[in-house]
Structure formats: C-alpha cells, structure tokens
Amino acid sequence: MIQNVSRGLITWWRGMDRTLLVIIIALISIGLVLAMAASPAMTDRLGIDDPFYFLYRQSAFAILGVVGMLGISSLNPKGARRLAVLALFGALGLMVLLPLIGYEVKGATRWIRIGSFGLQPSEFLKPALIVTAAWLFAEEQRGAPIPGRVIAFGLYIISIGLLMIQPDFGQSVLLTLCFGGVFFASGLSWIWVAVLSSLAAAGSTLAYFTFPHVASRVQRFIDPESGDTYQIDRAMEAIANGGITGAGPGEGEVKNFLPDAHTDFIFAVAAEEFGLMASLAIIGLFALLVARAWTQAMRLQDSFAQLAVTGLALQFALQALVNIGVNLNLIPPKGMTLPFVSYGGSSMLALTFGAGLLLAFTRRRPGAYALRHSS
C-alpha cells in the first residue's frame, strides 16, 4: 500500500510541469512580501490592532490555495474537466442567489458572507467556464452528437447576464475576451470573428450608456478633470517615486493613502518600494507563465487539453495586463486584482484553482504530448 502511494507520488511529481509550478509559487511569494509591506498601513487606517492582519490572512489563503492546487494537479484530464463543470454550475447557482443572500460593496452585490470570509463566485466562474467551453468546442470538433458551440454560447450568455446584474463590467469584459480566445483557438472562421467583435463593441457601447459607473470611469480616463482620479494619480506618483531601485521595503508612501493599495494597486506599491527592476520582474514572470503554458499547449495531443491550457493562460495574462494597465493609467479603472499577487481570499483560491487545472492538463503522462522528432 505504502509503496503504491509512494510510486504514485513519484509519478505525479515527475509528470508535473515544474517550470509552471515555480513561476506560480514565485508570484504568490511576491504577493506575500507585498502584503507584509502594505498590511501595517491598511490595519492602521481601518483601526485593526494587529498590524499584520492582512498578511496572516493572505498567508492562510495562499497555503490553502497551494494545497488545493497541488491536489487538483494530480487529476487526469477527465477528472479536471468534471471538477470544472461542477465548479461552473456551483458558481452560476451562487450568482443566481446573490440578489437574495449577497452583500453590497461600492454599489455592487458580488459577495456572499461566510463568517469573516467574503466569497466572490464570479472569480471561480472564469476558469470553470473556460475549461467547460474548451471541452464543448473540442467535442464538436471531434464530431460528437452534441451542439457544443451552442451550449457553450448559452453558458457564456447566462454568465454575462448574471455578471451584469451585479453589476461587474470588468469581469464581463475579461470573460468575453477569454471565451473569444478559446473559441478562436478552436478554429472559428473570420466571419465569426467579425460577428463576435461587433457584438463586443455593441455590448461595450450599451454598458457605457446603461451603467453610470462605466461611463464615469471612461470619462475620467479621457478627461481627468471631469471627475475624481485620486487613486490613479497617487499610483502614478508612487511608480515615479520608486525609480529604478525603489524607496526600500516598507518605505513607500502610497500604501498610507490608497484605500485599494493591497488589492487593485498592489503593483504601484511594488514599484514604489522595490523599483523598476522589481516591476519588470513581475511582468516577466507573467510573460514566462503564458509563454510556457502556450508552448506546452502546442505540444499536447488532446485538443480539449490544448484549448483549456490556452484559455487558462490567457485569463492570467489578460487579468495581469488589465491590472498593470490601470496602475500605469493606460486603460480606465476596472477594479481587477493582479493574479496571485493582490490581497483577496476569493481571488487567491480561484486563481490557484485555475492554476491547478492548468497543471493537471500540462502534466506529462503516456500519450499526452507529441513526440519530438530529431532531424
């Protein structure tokens, strides 16, 4: 019995894409360092006695998330797919109940209170829908007797509808881009590209005229004098003050003034305290994560695994791009966390859930990868 378990663990570890694992652990570690830097200022502002309250909580979420990630990574593709489908319907079910049992923060009802923990179902929706859509697209490619694309689009439309009820325009945009990316990778025609692009443009225009907070953010981005740009201004100031080497650990000022310094603007904290080189290192780690995942995806034999890996890596890339873009004032504010780095329990658990699925699909097993031919 013990020998079988040991043999299984050795097989699992040998099959693991350790490059991806190291990159993910590195990003989580950076997030804990930044949580340690930002926590005292945040607790002082909120009147919390323990100066490292947020660090302890983030550490607990990180440990729980990594344990779950490693457990999920041991699943075979069928098991990972089943888990994603269950997570998708679980997230959709909770999102349906949000108007009844959720609580409001900054004008949006996105969270369910479980003790001191706020669960955001939409965070788990993203990787779950990506994997489920990848499976449905792949099944239709194989000629399975199910309307895979129709079902996938139905789930996507339901998801977007529930997100807009909250409302959460940023997550809707991110989910749309990820869904479109998986659909594109599955081999859609350029006609579909034009149709989807037109629908996306129409949806964005409708959101601008329907939701005042969306219009306000766009207007403030175009014309900073038209509204409050305090957080963006302070973030830009912090990045400029950081220079090449930074002010030093704990010496930054932005965390003392920004309400979202530990979440949406954690990149500005990193830039101010650790400088340009640390900022580039964070960006480089995300670039390596995506490059490694997509390189592995191209070698996978199974089209479902290819599409799932492509979509999951795209989610990490786009979410990081949006967060960093907002910090650099390159795009309107979206209220989106920096993957694995920003503080947040739901965010950390959902991202490690997605990372576990990514590691499960990229794990080396007999027949998973195409053989390399030497010339």
- Contact yes or no for 256/41 (Cβ under 8 A): yes
Band of the pLDDT at 309, cuts 50, 70, 90? very high
Mean of the pLDDT values across residues 218-236? 69
Tokens encoding 324: 């960093």
- Contact yes or no for 263/342 (Cβ under 8 A): yes
Strand residue runs (E) in the chain? 103-105, 108-114, 117-119
Mean of the pLDDT values across residues 81-101? 94
Structure confidence at residue 209 (pLDDT): 63
Q: How many residues does the chain have?
A: 375
pLDDT value at 159 more than 60 = yes
pLDDT value at 372 more than 60 = no
Band of the pLDDT at 212, cuts 50, 70, 90? low
pLDDT value at 305 more than 50 = yes
pLDDT value at 3 more than 60 = yes
Can you tell me the distance from the alpha carbon of 196 to that of 176, in angstroms, rounded to the nearest whole number?
A: 9
Neighbours of 338 (CB within 10 A): 28
Neighbours of 50 (CB within 10 A): 11
Which of the given ranges, 238-242, 305-309, 365-369, has the highest pLDDT on average? 305-309
Q: How many helices (H) and strands (E) does the chain have?
A: 13, 3
Query: When comparing pLDDT for 191 and 217, which is higher?
Result: 191
Band of the pLDDT at 17, cuts 50, 70, 90? very high
Q: Is 103 helix (H, G, I), strand (E, B) or coil?
A: strand
Band of the pLDDT at 157, cuts 50, 70, 90? very high
Quote the mean pLDDT of the chain. 86
Structure confidence at residue 12 (pLDDT): 78
pLDDT value at 256 more than 90 = no
Band of the pLDDT at 374, cuts 50, 70, 90? very low
Band of the pLDDT at 375, cuts 50, 70, 90? very low
Can you tell me the distance from the alpha carbon of 169 to that of 165, in angstroms, rounded to the nearest whole number?
A: 10
- Contact yes or no for 370/143 (Cβ under 8 A): no
Q: Per-domain residue ranges for the chain?
A: 16-362
Band of the pLDDT at 373, cuts 50, 70, 90? very low
Q: pLDDT tens across 69-82, in order?
A: 999 999 999 999 99
230's CB contacts (< 8 A; 6+ apart) are none
Structure confidence at residue 4 (pLDDT): 67
pLDDT value at 108 more than 80 = no
Q: pLDDT tens across 345-364, in order?
A: 899 999 999 999 999 999 98
* Residue labelled with tokens 């005229």: 209
